[in-house]
Amino acid sequence: MHSMYRNTKIICTIGPATESQKMIEQLVKNGMNIARLNFSHGTHQYHKTLIQNIRVVSKRLHQPVAILQDLQGPRIRIGILTEPVEVVRNEKIIIVPESEFKSLAGKRGLGKILPVQYEELYKDLHKDSTILIDEGFIELEVVKIVGSHIHAQVVTSGIVKTNKGINTPGKELSADPLTKKDRDDIRFGIEHGVDSIALSFVSCADDMVVLKKEVMKRARGGITPALIAKIERQAAMDDIENIIVESDAVMVARGDLALECSAAEVPVMQKRIVGACIRNAKPVIVATQMLDSMIENPRPTRAEVSDVANAVIDHADCVMLSGETASGSYPLEAVAMMEKIIEETEASPYDDAPREFARMFHMSGDRHAIAEAAVDIAITEQASALVIASLTGATIRAVAQLRPAMRILGLVTEEALARQLIFSWGVNPLVIAKQQSVGKLIEVCLSTLEKTKIAKKGDKIVLVAGQKVGIPGTTNFVQVQEL
């Protein structure tokens, strides 16, 4: 079983290689904290089965596992082809709306034709626009636009297959932030209790407002899914601070970001986004190609190892595996390797936050003042753990923002909130019954520490709570306890 006390959390994408309960159990044992379901692929029935499998395994292992629903968003994709189409450098081709493709395919004199699912792509492009297909492996340049038909010349050869992604660097698309499919998927996700929903291709803060309204419309009371903004466009970078404010968490989606902007800019963008999220006490996920070579090989490249380690040193809350665990040949090895890299890096001094870290990311308000005081006291008293009781999780996240050296135990009364707190750096969430007094809360806290072996006899812990126990927003109590 993996270490419970790793600070940086691991997200694994579940797919054909890992869909069974047996494989999901092994992923959890090897280090998975959060399961990502990619709604660009698979039916609702398929995802329902995955959710059931994840919940069964979580219950069996007595270990919370959060579920991240990743929406497709306004993704431009190649439509349905009867067979793959090879395109060769300097060749002329035509891209047409999928609704017109059948009537045009095979007509003499038109040459090779590719269907596109986004019917209005022609409105967003012009002569000399660049079109990238299949993660940029195929490149086209627009020669002219005639009606709804995009005439292009092949710059980089390749084989075009059904459903492959299309990017248009430097061009903002007029598509709605939520497609009809996304709205159907949100309804499904809420009905089946997903813990978070990620929106792809966010352009501005308003896109997250649209998502929030849709989720609230579908919500049935209680804790709603955390909303995650995926940053993969230049426009999103231009509005990053506002997007963070409107989101519960942020994902640095480096694959499309590198295609929409420039691959050389992505490392600096990553650091900027991670820093901005920590400053705003919002979880941040670093994603895409972290151990990409392990899709086919049992060992990662040295560059990939350094990539994961650098995300840990930057204090990212989560790191994510995509194809490595969804469809790769070595999914269990990939998770185990990621955990090993994280543990080695966290054991080094390079990811340690200086005591002044809190001042670097200072936020006003009673909650953050209490969090800073608690961490300061824990350092002075050489406490082994910070134990925070919270009804909403806000104080727990405020403590996690400061990246303290000691363990963070978050005591909450709802399982759904506990799963959402898994996204936060260093937080080990535990569900307890509601308590009527601070005395009872301390009692429960000490017995929980004993059971979980987070602290041992003689250790000091710092307890953070509200003297008005059971009332949200009343955290005002910090106490040192010796076991």
Cα distances (angstroms) measured from residue 319 to each of 186, 261, 393: 24, 21, 21
Active site residue 233: no
Determine the residue type at 261: C
Q: Which residues of 158-180 are buried (b: 16+ CB within 10 A; e: fewer)?
A: bebeeebbbbbbebebebebbbe
HEC-encoded secondary structure of the chain: CCCCCCCCEEEEECCCCCCCHHHHHHHHHHCCCEEEEECCCCCHHHHHHHHHHHHHHHHHHCCCCEEEEECCCCCEEECCCCCCEEECCCCEEEEEEHHHHHHHCCCCCCCEEEEECCCCHHHHCCCCCEEEECCCCEEEEEEEEECCEEEEEEEECEEECCCCEEECCCCCCCCCCCCHHHHHHHHHHHHCCCCEEEECCCCCHHHHHHHHHHHHHHCCCCCCCEEEEEECCHHHHHCHHHHHHHCCEEEEEHHHHHHHCCHHHHHHHHHHHHHHHHHCCCCEEEECCCCHHHHCCCCCCHHHHHHHHHHHHCCCCEEEECHHHHCCCCHHHHHHHHHHHHHHHHHCHHHCCCCCHHHHCCCCCHHHHHHHHHHHHHHHCCCCEEEEECCCCHHHHHHHHCCCCCEEEEEECCHHHHHHHCCCCCEEEEECCCCCCHHHHHHHHHHHHHHHCCCCCCCEEEEEEECCCCCCCCEEEEEEEEC
Which residue is catalytic, options 75, 77, 254, 407?
77
For residue 369 the two structure tokens come to 């003042």
Active site residue 187: no
Which residue is catalytic, options 8, 13, 18, 36?
36
Active site residue 107: no
Which residue is catalytic, options 75, 164, 230, 254?
230
User: How far is it, in rounded angstroms, from Cα 472 to Cα 107?
Assistant: 67
In 10 A of CB 220, how many CB atoms?
Answer: 7
Which residue is catalytic, options 13, 168, 224, 288?
288
**226 in Cβ contact with 235 (< 8 Å):** no
User: How far is it, in rounded angstroms, from Cα 32 to Cα 40?
Assistant: 21
For residue 370 the two structure tokens come to 């209490």
Cα distances (angstroms) measured from residue 71 to each of 108, 184, 234, 341: 39, 10, 20, 29
For residue 383 the two structure tokens come to 């406490």
Active site residue 218: no
Catalytic residue set: 36, 77, 230, 288
